[in-house]
Chain A
Amino acid sequence: MAYDKFTVLRSTAVPLAIENVDTDQLIPARFLKATERVGFGDNLFRDWRYNPDNTPKKEFVLNNPMYSGKILVGGKNFGSGSSREHAAWAVYDYGFRCVVSSFFADIFKNNCLNIGVLPVQVSPEFADKIFRAIEADPKTEIEVNLPEQTISLLATGESERFDISAYKKDNMINGFDDIDYLQNIKGEIQEFAANLPL
């Protein structure tokens, strides 16, 4: 599915300093019943965001009007658990374009890259710096520069480089996806399939 191109994102950020945020928190299984990709943002962090009677939990960061922005900063091992792409859809549909963490779970990270959410893995020290900066000033602006592969705190100029494969980077900058690529080598795939050992 096509998504918006990603180059440079400058935004405030929402801090979620919890480790091992799993996909069942990102989107509980009971909200996976749709057959179309609509409305997942409404149920992002459903059970942390809302009480059983659907009133918002005031203490949860997404319900705190002080924090907003297109960047979500999470604790270590973000997105562990299920392969449900719905977790990444929920993040995207809520309005985030970038998730920052000192460590990502594999499948979640892949899913994000496939749908246009940029996962930025930073050092634990830089993650701490970001959390502290937002704590001191919720209006802290962060710049994520994909072409340069840097993430910076604009107020102080502190910056760190992040990794992304050249292929995925090119995809995100241009809004391409893997299916476009694979469709173009279908002949090669069919030839390969004909020569498999079994």
Chain B
Amino acid sequence: MSKTLFDKVWDTHVVRKIEGGPDVLFIDRHLIHEVTSPVAFLGLKSRGIRVLYPERTFATADHNTPTWNQHLPVADPLSANQLKALESNSNEYGISHWGLGHQKNGIVHVVGPEYGITQPGATIVCGDSHTSTHGAFGAIAFGIGTSEVEMVLSTQCIMQPKPQKMRISINGKLGKGVTPKDVALFIISKLTTSGATGYFVEYAGEVFENMTMEGRMTVCNLSIEMGARGGMIAPDETTINYVKDREFSPKGEAWDKALAYYKTLKTDPDAVFDKEYNYNASEIEPMITYGTNPGMGIGISKDIPDAEDVEGGVATYEKSLNYMGFHEGDSMIGKKVDYVFIGSCTNGRIEDFRAFASIVKGKKKADHVTAWLVPGSHIVEAQIKEEGLLDIFNEAGFVLRQPGCSACLAMNDDKIPAGKYAVSTSNRNFEGRQGPGSRTMLASPLVAAAAAVTGVVTDPRDLIEELV
């Protein structure tokens, strides 16, 4: 029978099917961090059970870590306690722990791929909804709750009903200044924040085939923002070149065997999806969000839509615009920006910092803008320095912080103050997401850079033209 990429990976991992219930799904690789794991370990302790395969779980601290002066003790006692719990739990159960200060420490969805923990055809879970990132490699990867973290620790399995299948195809060539982030925000604006709930998405077509792994990770990362459990892209040469020779990638004979398996990981030509969407790359321009969920995005040159043109209730829409201090019909261009944040598991990779640098090079940060540049890992941080991007940033008046989730969810001190506007390359513009009362506009690293140097929402294509 014809199968989709998703079917192939899922079916290979089903330990058993429960009549009238979920599948028991085997998990190849499990990533944990300090926020969603402590209660799972408490559960293990209270039940008196061990971790079944400690070598399949990897721990890194990221959500709650400072991005400045990481060599000093963590000042917030609650955060420090959580970091300590991750370390002691990892040590007790024999799990690799990349804590604060460790060379491999960084955002879980950045370091996983960097060290080859992420492999095509694998099942990967983490107590974090942006685990969908790893789908970029043709893995089934999705976020789970703490009860499920406990299940994976204790039995390397979780119980999941098999989702339905959706394919989103985009062909054509992306225009100038249009990045993978814009592609993702475009799709979410079309499908809405719940349009893919219950589905697992495969992204297909020239636009994704032509993307780098970093770009594919950005797209798959945002799958959850339209409700999808995850998204995936069939592995190809780009994927294999990225994965080869990484620390945890298979080596020697095991690599040859893996390679043969990776090559089977594509949707059969006549396989059927439960839902399909098709778009053309020419429809997509640089995007920005104007509301309080990631589905509320528009092309940067467009005006904020009227309530009656938007799916969903008018009251909810008005509440959202009120929170943002925006009005129907407003142009986004020229809106004042107080903060710029580049980083997170969505856009905290080297390519994102290269894009940011391409705009700010030879310019100056706007005086009233506070900018936080936060690399996703120490590898990204080192690349920024090696490639000379740090010099460009410093000359333009920016400083580089240290790796972590940072202002994406503002668990640490990187909080946008109440009422202030931030252009952020992260993934959520929910009320208060970046700090109580903060107002977030999601966008690409190019849009973020344009805002950082002009101090207002600016179409990055205008600045790219200047350079030509």
Contact = CB atoms under 8 A, between A and B. Distances in A.
A binds B: yes
Interface stretch (B100-108, B138-146, B212-220, B337-345): B138-146
B307 interface: no
Contact of A80 (B20, B28, B119, B293): B293
Contact of B197 (A32, A36, A77): A77
Contacts of A80: 193-194, 227, 293
B156 A193 contact: yes
B439 to A, nearest CB: 13
Contacts of A107: 129, 143-145, 224, 229
B252 interface: no
Nearest to A109: B197
B430 interface: yes
Interface stretch (A65-73, A82-90, A148-156): A82-90
A193 B14 CA distance: 11
Interface string B388-416: 00000000000000000000011100000
Interface string A80-105: 11111110100000000000000111
A198 B194 contact: no
Contacts of A166: 19-21
B293 A37 contact: no
Nearest to A87: B145
Given A77-B193, A165-B22, A198-B119, A179 B227 contact: no
B78 interface: yes
B157 A182 contact: yes
Nearest to B77: A33
Interface stretch (B37-45, B173-181, B240-248): B37-45
Contacts of B197: 77, 103-106
B145 A20 contact: no
Contact of B35 (A24, A32, A186): A32
B155 A182 contact: yes
A82 B431 contact: no
A19 B21 contact: no
Contacts of A186: 52, 155
A180 to B, nearest CB: 9
B315 A20 contact: no
A194 B46 CA distance: 28
Given A47-B432, A167-B22, A188 B15 contact: yes
Contact of B151 (A30, A106, A182): A182
Interface string A142-173: 00000000000000000000000111100000
B148 interface: yes
Given A32-B35, A76-B194, A83-B129, A18 B316 contact: yes
B145 A88 contact: yes
A178 B151 contact: yes
A196 interface: yes
Interface in A1-56: 1, 17-20, 22, 24-25, 28-30, 32-37, 47, 52
A145 B117 CA distance: 45
B73 interface: no
A84 B437 contact: no
Contacts of B150: 179
Given A33-B64, A106-B197, A198-B250, A1 B312 contact: no
B66 to A, nearest CB: 14
A64 B153 CA distance: 42
Contacts of A196: 12-13, 26, 28
A69 B307 CA distance: 33
A181 B159 CA distance: 10
A198 B145 contact: no
B47 A29 contact: no
B38 to A, nearest CB: 4
Given A81-B129, A192-B26, A36 B39 contact: yes
Contacts of A179: 43, 47, 147, 150-151, 154-155
A29 B131 CA distance: 17
Contacts of A103: 194, 197
B134 interface: no
Given A105-B194, A179-B47, A83 B143 contact: yes
A185 interface: yes
Contacts of B191: none
- The interface centre, meaning the residue of A34, A83, A85, A177 with most chain B CB atoms within 10 A of its CB, is A83
B10 to A, nearest CB: 13
Contacts of A105: 194, 197, 227
B82 interface: yes
Contact of A189 (B26, B42, B147, B409): B26
B194 A20 contact: yes
B205 interface: no
Contacts of B293: 20, 22, 80
16 contacts: A20-B293, A22-B293, A29-B433, A32-B63, A33-B78, A80-B293, A86-B146, A105-B197, A106-B198, A106-B229, A165-B21, A167-B19, A178-B151, A179-B43, A189-B26, A198-B28
Interface of B: 12-13, 15-16, 18-22, 24, 26, 28, 35-36, 38-39, 42-43, 46-47, 49, 52-53, 63-64, 76, 78-79, 81-82, 85, 119, 121-122, 127-129, 131, 143-148, 150-151, 154-161, 163, 193-194, 197-198, 224, 227, 229, 250, 254, 257-258, 261, 293, 312-313, 315-316, 319, 409-411, 418, 428, 430-433, 436-437
In order of increasing CB-CB distance, the 7 nearest A-B pairs are: A167-B21, A166-B20, A83-B143, A85-B145, A111-B145, A35-B38, A33-B78
Given A29-B411, A75-B313, A182-B151, 17 more contacts: A19-B316, A25-B430, A29-B63, A35-B38, A77-B227, A83-B143, A84-B35, A85-B147, A106-B229, A107-B129, A107-B143, A166-B21, A167-B22, A168-B21, A179-B150, A179-B155, A198-B250
